[in-house]
Amino acid sequence: MTLYNEIPSLDLGKFRNGSEEEKDQFVQALGNAYQNIGFVAVRNHYLTDELTGKLYRVIKEFFALPEDVKAKYEIEGLAGQRGYIGKGKEHAKGRTTGDLKEFYHVGQEVTDGDPIKNEYPENVWPEEIPEFREVALEVYQRLEQTGREMLRAIALYLDLDEDYFEPRVRNGNSILRPIHYFPIKDPESIPEDAVRAAEHGDINLITLLMGASADGLQVLRKDGAWIPITALPEQLVVNVGDMLERLTNKKLKSTIHRVVNPPREEMGNSRFSIPFFMHPRSDMDLTCLENCVDAENPKEFDDISAGEFLNERLAEIGLKK
């Protein structure tokens, strides 16, 4: 068992433009990390520091708006899949105490006539911040492009065709989620077990995370130790989600992670984070891959589609009734 004290850092440019040997080395290093800790950091992705800075600026402007203004963008009936989701509305699976956060969801914009557009609600854009739409959509597209490249490497590690995931994620149900872990002026006023984000696994195929504005993200290692994760400015942290773990019959690990509260003297400070949850199309079959099931690794999951699995989990975390 390999125990990491920090997550491995990989150069995605070696997969994209390197020699066959460099490409293969990237694939093997990625697979080893995903089998052991479920997280890597990658550089030479498609997101620029300038664009990251722009998005952080506009989301900070949005979360600084008055509560009644933000509430205009919390749309009934969308199960939190677009627009604003208020403080404490989401909780981790298996818990009832809401996380100490508020967030905003930006989803897929289908522009090529694909009928899957009918499955997705329209995006919701705050009129008070005109720049929000343009910046968020460009970040969305660049993270999606990076995610597709990562999935090509994952496919090769799994002995699949390199383009295995391509038709399954084209116009997929991915979500960009700017999060504000809001200041707590009076720590005594919150439930004793309330945290910024309780321990959880992500629902999707993979998650791409740009550098957060403060420490707090931790990952549960195989030996039960929690280790801190920091996304450097030029890197993205990319982790395995529950859908990919399910598809690979736990060959690739959706590692439990959390965002812990800061020391009491720092509870009055905000923390901002912007993950991109890469989802497939709803009809993707998550049945365990045949080459991930054998006598030593019997099939652990029932057959299910991505859409059915997502609906189950949205109910479990309190976003869908």
**HSE-up (13 A, CA, CB side) for residue 117:** 9
Residues 147 and 155 sit within 8 Å (Cβ to Cβ): no
Q: How confident is the model over 72-102, as pLDDT tens digits?
A: 999 988 878 899 999 877 655 665 666 778 9
Looking at the domain assignment, is residue 4 inside a domain? Answer: no
Q: What are phi and psi of 58, to 5 degrees?
A: -75, -35
Domain that holds residue 190: 9-316
CA distances from 62 to 57, 125, 127, 132, 162 (A): 9, 10, 10, 9, 40
Q: Quick one: tokens of 226?
A: 């929690």
pLDDT at site 321:
63
Looking at the domain assignment, is residue 2 inside a domain? Answer: no
Looking at the domain assignment, is residue 97 inside a domain? Answer: yes
C-alpha dihedral, 2 to 13 to 144 to 307, nearest 10°: -40
Residue with tokens 């981790």: 92
Q: Which amino acid appears at position 106 of this protein?
A: V
Looking at the domain assignment, is residue 321 inside a domain? Answer: no
d(Cα 44, Cα 59) in Å, to the nearest integer? Answer: 24
d(Cα 233, Cα 50) in Å, to the nearest integer? Answer: 11
Q: How confident is the model over 214-250, as pLDDT tens digits?
A: 577 888 888 888 888 876 778 999 999 999 999 999 9
d(Cα 219, Cα 225) in Å, to the nearest integer? Answer: 8
**HSE-up (13 A, CA, CB side) for residue 172:** 28
Residues 200 and 90 sit within 8 Å (Cβ to Cβ): no
Residues 80 and 89 sit within 8 Å (Cβ to Cβ): yes
Sheet holding 257-259, edge to edge: 197-200, 257-259, 217-220, 226-228
Residues 130 and 220 sit within 8 Å (Cβ to Cβ): no
d(Cα 78, Cα 89) in Å, to the nearest integer? Answer: 13
Q: How many domains does the chain have?
A: 1
Other Cβ atoms less than 10 A from the Cβ of 4: the count is 15
C-alpha dihedral, 212 to 231 to 95 to 85, nearest 10°: 30
The CATH number of whichever domain residue 90 belongs to comes to 2.60.120.330
d(Cα 181, Cα 170) in Å, to the nearest integer? Answer: 31
Residue with tokens 């205009």: 72
What string of pLDDT tens digits covers the 321 residues of the chain? 566 677 889 999 999 999 999 999 999 999 999 998 899 999 999 999 899 999 999 999 999 999 999 999 999 888 788 999 998 776 556 656 667 789 999 999 999 999 999 999 999 999 999 999 999 999 999 999 999 999 999 999 999 999 999 999 999 999 999 999 888 776 665 666 566 667 778 999 999 998 755 577 888 888 888 888 876 778 999 999 999 999 999 999 998 888 777 677 777 788 888 999 999 999 999 999 999 999 999 999 999 999 999 988 887 766 666
Q: Say whether pTM exceeds 0.85.
A: yes
Q: Which amino acid appears at position 96 of this protein?
A: T
DSSP reduced 3-state for 83: strand
The stretches of the chain forming alpha helices (DSSP H) are 12-17, 20-36, 49-63, 67-71, 131-157, 166-169, 242-247, 306-316
Looking at the domain assignment, is residue 238 inside a domain? Answer: yes
